[in-house]
Amino acid sequence: MAKPHPFFLLPALWLLSHTLFASPTISPQHNAIYQQLLRLQVAQAQTQLEQQAQNNATTLLLANYADFLELCVQQDQRKYAPLLAAQEARLEKLADLPKEVWRDYALAEVRLQLGMSKLLFGNRLSAAWDIRRAYLQYRQNEQQYPDFIANKKNLGVLQVLIGSVPDKYKWFLNIIGLKGSINQGVANLKAASSSDNPFYQEARLLHAVILHLTDPEKREQAVRQATALAKKDSDNLLFQFVAMHLLKKTQASEQALQVYLHRPHGSAYLTFPYLHHMAADLYLYRADFDASIQENRKFLKLHQGQHYLKSVNYKLYLAYALSNHKPQAQWHFKQIAEVGIEDTEEDRYAAKYAQKQEALVKPLMQARLHSDGGYFPEALQALQRLKLTPATPAAVQAEYFYRKARIYHGTDSLQQALPLYKRAIELCQGTDLYFAPSAALQAGYIYKELHQPQKARLYFKQAISYKNHEYKNSVDAKAKLALAAMQGS
């Protein structure tokens, strides 16, 4: 369901949104602490929490958020055991409190955070049980406190997340006994985003994230929502991260880079290493290799986890290779196999790339990077430097047609992109190249936009059918979300 990635912060945001404001009994002190946590000013929040009553459900819940956010943002393996033990201790304290709505809701929230913390650090089986117990608590709360809107909203997000779980994690669904309903989950989130809610900002940010994930045709709307909130609350580092994330995903690199450059700084905020890795990508997209190298080196200096290390060395290899620094490029290429783990898709891709030992085709790579960043004219220029011949390997040809299709797709030249996607699929037959499933997914999006739902469904199902490629989790999830959104059309 979740991945070891700062995108974990987005479910964390969901947990924060409305959790503390669904009841009028929240104190001004707890409100102020909540705002600090939402800004990722965790140390200040922890200091304030020490002055609150420790046998209070809201205090325990906020204290858990502090630990949970620290684990999500910093991913420091050294802190995992003590922070996990602290979360488990809070569950015991909550269980000893008198039964009431905030106590029961905190039980579900802390249990869910505990499960997500375990999932982040690779303890999947134990995480599944904790998340299942949290879900059952939410269901019980729903029955006992039907007017408690936070519970309905959280179930809605669970519906979206579980409804998009790839086949690889079907065991998880079987364990918790839940089938996701993406449409119902999105509807619940939309309802919670109403301006009638006095804390609509957090709900609208979360709604933007889910909208971006579930409906490609509304991604621009989602980005507008997130960037508007980030601009309004310029001191909120979490809001800046979400805006940067969505802008980067929608190939708006220049805007994403501006968010990064104007993000709030200072010792009051949690150190957020992954932001440097994101910025390194943004600089790489526009061929600012020195800046990309600098940002990834900052990441390596600050990051204490095992995730992204392969990916960072792969990106450093690219930056050095494309700027003609061969010794440094080769050193980082060798590091890919020697450091980190392969839990994230970007790490798995880096590991597979290094294992293949294939020569770097610079025009293709430059076209890919420019296209990923939204620099489509530059991408097309790079691609034109590659001349295909009958002797060109099929894998290079497949990528050529796929990259060209993405460039035309990115400029809304849909009729030009479609045959190129189909040619890429043909050239990938009998291989595990990810260009085929990715091309099928994109072709499905085009047919959906052209109001040809039957063809769209065929291509989404084709995208799901491919096995053993680097991006199977994300491609399958996107295709399933698209199919669910098309029900009834």
CB 486 within 8 A of CB 219: no
Is pLDDT at 138 greater than 70 in this prediction? yes
pTM of the model: 0.87
User: For all residues of the chain together, what is the average pLDDT?
Assistant: 88
Instruction: Give the pLDDT score at 213.
Output: 81
C-alpha–C-alpha distance, residues 243 and 255, integer Å: 9
pLDDT digits (tens, 9 = 90+) for 246-256: 999 999 999 99
Q: Kindly give, in sequence order, each residue whose CB lies less than 8 Å from that of residue 424, ignoring residues fewer than 6 positions away.
A: 398, 399, 401, 402, 405, 435, 436, 439
Which tokens go with 185?
Answer: 């989950």
* Nearest residue to 400 via CA among 387, 416, 410: 387
Mean pLDDT of 48-69: 94
- Sort 169 into a burial class: Cβ within 10 Å, 0-12 / 13-18 / 19+: middle
Mean pLDDT of 336-344: 93
Which domains are delineated in the chain? Answer: 6-261 (1.25.40), 273-356 (1.25.40.10), 362-485 (1.25.40.10)
Is pLDDT at 1 greater than 70 in this prediction? no
> Which is more confidently placed, 369 or 38?
369
CB 473 within 8 A of CB 345: yes
Is pLDDT at 60 greater than 90 in this prediction? yes
Q: Kindly give, in sequence order, each residue whose CB lies less than 8 Å from that of residue 314, ignoring residues fewer than 6 positions away.
A: 332, 333, 336, 349, 350, 353, 354
Is pLDDT at 408 greater than 90 in this prediction? yes
CB 9 within 8 A of CB 73: yes
Neighbours of 461 (CB within 10 A): 14
11 confidence band (pLDDT: 50, 70, 90): low
